[in-house]
Amino acid sequence: MARDTGDTGEGIRRGTVEYRRAILGLLATGLATFISIYPTQAILPALVEDLDLTATGAALTVSSTTGALALSIIPLVEVSEKWGRGRVMRLTLALAVLIGLALPFAANPAILIALRTLQGVALAGVPAVTMTWIREEIHARDAPRVMGLYIAGNTVGGILSRLVPSSMLEFGSWRLGLGAATIIAVITGLAAVALLPRQRHHTPREIRLLPELRLIAAQLRHWRLVRFFLISLIGQGVFVSVFNYASFRLMNQLGLSESQVGLVFLLYLFGTYTSARAGFIAERFGRGRTLAAGATGMAIAVALLAPAQLWSIVIGIGLFTGSFFLVHSTSSAWVSVASPHPAQASSMYMFAFYVGSSAVGWATGLLLDAGGWPMFIAGLGVLSGAIVAIAFHILAAERRR
């Protein structure tokens, strides 16, 4: 008797074997990807000390990866049109973790940043096509829930990418930390390759990069979509800024050790929860209200980061993380159904996401260098205020429809 795959022709449905495989595969994919993107973030102070770098110089080990990732997303989307989403996800993830094995042996900052740049190119294959894979392979009714669970996997990877390297500093140098993170990436990457179901709803077509770029750029003509792209760019930029530079505040001014700072990153679990529940929350209260509530939480959280009080910073980071992932999960699912070209809209959304991570996440460090923590927080406050304004504009437009 043939095994019931759970694919009704309209996509994989919840409660089936294939659905469970898809969930586990996507969780492993997100975990392996994000532990590979951000392993240097929590050890930036150690890089500053060991490699004689400035804070913004050390932050290049993060922004070089996310910048290369942003530039590679659209070409890899086009490759996936011919090769298939699943194949691109598997091959690029495997290449990224292999590059990661070389990171602990980087002889100087230039080599480390070059390897991180190459890793960013490879890693682009996962966020470039995963949202489209979910839309094509998962039944439309279950897709928002699956999207939230995939992003939850991203948050677990984000936690481990900060917690593991920083904890290893108690036993050795930053090289040991990067090595430990890479081992986890290899294990979860292999699990992702093994578990992800075979793609059944993709029709290959020839690579047409220039027409595809024009179609993606055409998404910018629609203000309804541009609002989501701005939320993606600014929101991720502020999020990475907080996690890039909070370590310096916690260590240099509040006296925490590297391992204690690593424990603060467990607050990422708030993001795991809100991203997994975002689909349910949006169904119950409406997408517009969910987006506006998350954006407001982000702005309040930035204000809590201003005082030089550990309790305030801890609450602020927790609230900010939960609010950000609520916004990201809601907007990333919304943009793919708001455009007649969902694959291209999702590509532009993810392009904006990683441009924000790279450019904004690095540039806010200049504010920190120039005016210290007060100027840094003021800059984040302005950016968070912009997200609040856009979110309430979307809410108002939704109510008028």
CA-to-CA distance for 131 and 147, rounded, in angstroms?
Answer: 7
Q: Are the CB atoms for 93 and 182 separated by under 8 Å?
A: no
Query: What confidence tens digit (pLDDT) does each residue in 232-283 have?
Result: 999 999 999 999 899 889 988 899 888 888 888 888 889 889 988 888 899 8
9 has a pLDDT exceeding 80: no
Task: Using pLDDT thresholds of 50, 70 and 90, give the confidence band for residue 292.
Answer: very high
Task: Using pLDDT thresholds of 50, 70 and 90, give the confidence band for residue 123.
Answer: very high
CA-to-CA distance for 400 and 37, rounded, in angstroms?
Answer: 40
Is residue 163 domain-shared with residue 270, that is, in the same domain?
A: no
Is residue 280 domain-shared with residue 348, that is, in the same domain?
A: yes
The answer as to whether 2 is a domain residue is no
Q: What pLDDT, on a 0 to 100 scale, did the predictor assign at position 2?
A: 39
Is residue 240 domain-shared with residue 378, that is, in the same domain?
A: yes
Q: Which domain-ending residue is among 164, 199, 234? A: 199
Is residue 191 domain-shared with residue 287, that is, in the same domain?
A: no
Is residue 165 domain-shared with residue 311, that is, in the same domain?
A: no
Cα angle 133-138-144, degrees, rounded to a multiple of 5: 95
Q: Which domain-ending residue is among 165, 199, 233? A: 199
Higher local confidence (pLDDT), 349 or 209: 349
Is residue 184 domain-shared with residue 125, that is, in the same domain?
A: yes
Q: What pLDDT, on a 0 to 100 scale, did the predictor assign at position 252?
A: 87
The answer as to whether 3 is a domain residue is no
Is residue 293 domain-shared with residue 395, that is, in the same domain?
A: yes
The answer as to whether 204 is a domain residue is no
Is residue 189 domain-shared with residue 269, that is, in the same domain?
A: no
Task: Using pLDDT thresholds of 50, 70 and 90, give the confidence band for residue 85.
Answer: confident
Mutual angle of helices 55-83 and 209-217, in 10-degree steps? 120
Is residue 216 domain-shared with residue 191, that is, in the same domain?
A: no
CATH code, domain carrying 258: 1.20.1250.20
The answer as to whether 7 is a domain residue is no
The answer as to whether 10 is a domain residue is no
Domain count of the fold of the chain = 2
Query: What confidence tens digit (pLDDT) does each residue in 158-212 have?
Result: 889 989 998 999 899 999 999 999 999 999 999 999 998 887 766 667 777 788 7
Provide, rounded to the nearest whole percent, the portion of the chain with pLDDT above 90.
57
Q: What pLDDT, on a 0 to 100 scale, did the predictor assign at position 263?
A: 84
Q: What pLDDT, on a 0 to 100 scale, did the predictor assign at position 325?
A: 93
Q: Supply the mean pLDDT for the chain.
A: 89
CA-to-CA distance for 323 and 75, rounded, in angstroms?
Answer: 31
Beta-bridge partners for 7: 12
The answer as to whether 26 is a domain residue is yes
Pick the closest to residue 143 from 331, 291, 11, 9 (CA basis).
11
The answer as to whether 296 is a domain residue is yes
Contacts for 251 with CB less than 8 Å, ≥ 6 apart: 45, 257, 258, 261
Mean pLDDT of the region 136-143 = 86
The answer as to whether 90 is a domain residue is yes
Task: Using pLDDT thresholds of 50, 70 and 90, give the confidence band for residue 1.
Answer: very low
Higher local confidence (pLDDT), 52 or 6: 52
pTM for this predicted structure: 0.82
CA-to-CA distance for 168 and 177, rounded, in angstroms?
Answer: 5
Q: What pLDDT, on a 0 to 100 scale, did the predictor assign at position 344?
A: 80
Q: Are the CB atoms for 260 and 335 separated by under 8 Å?
A: no
Domain that residue 149 falls in: 17-199
Is residue 161 domain-shared with residue 57, that is, in the same domain?
A: yes
CA-to-CA distance for 354 and 73, rounded, in angstroms?
Answer: 9
Is residue 214 domain-shared with residue 346, that is, in the same domain?
A: yes
Pick the closest to residue 240 from 151, 362, 366, 348 (CA basis).
362
Provide, rounded to the nearest whole percent, the portion of the chain with pLDDT above 70.
97
Q: Which domain-ending residue is among 160, 179, 199? A: 199
Is residue 117 domain-shared with residue 229, that is, in the same domain?
A: no
Task: Using pLDDT thresholds of 50, 70 and 90, give the confidence band for residue 78.
Answer: confident
